[in-house]
Amino acid sequence: MEAAFVLPVLLLLAFAVVGVHRVALGKLGVSAVAAEAAAAGARSDSPAEARARAEARGHDVAAGYGLTNGTFRLTVEVRTGGRDGDVTATATYDLDFAGLPLPADWARLTVASTHAAPFEPFRSRWPSGERAP
């Protein structure tokens, strides 16, 4: 008789732990993607290169964190002002709880993170291979 009361509570607790785990991993993943993408873009020599490097690095990190259900989005914004600009990366991902017995409107949750990295101030201002005047 006690098992009839305890088993549903234990199952609910187990599903809650799995759900919280998915949310934590998703949030950690998008945070790492945004930080890595912005940092990669900030180490570039031009705005076009910054965007390309940031997007490539962001997608590589997202694949490493398993953000692969097709809902991953990465937005990169490059603001220039001489060498005082920055690269801002925003990563969003829709978590899927379809495998858990949850109500239908709880089946998706979007996690997002934004990170900005300034262009590195001590990088050379001359293209590679050229000497300072």
Count other Cβ atoms within 10 Å, centred on residue 19.
16
Q: What is the mean pLDDT of residues 120-127?
A: 60
How does pLDDT run across 34-73, given as a tens digit for each residue?
Answer: 999 999 998 887 888 889 999 999 999 999 998 888 889 9
Q: In terms of C-beta distances under 8 Å and separation of at least 24 residues, what long-range contacts does 16-22 make, across chains too?
A: 18/100, 19/97, 19/100, 19/102, 22/95, 22/97
Q: Is the pLDDT of residue 131 over 50?
A: no
**DSSP codes, 90-120:** EEEEEEE-TTS---GGGSEEEEEEEEEEEPP
| pTM (predicted TM-score) | 0.79
Q: pLDDT > 70: what percent of the chain? A: 83
Query: Could you tell me which residue, 90 or 121, shows the higher pLDDT?
Result: 90
Residue 109 and residue 118: Cα distance in Å, rounded? Answer: 30
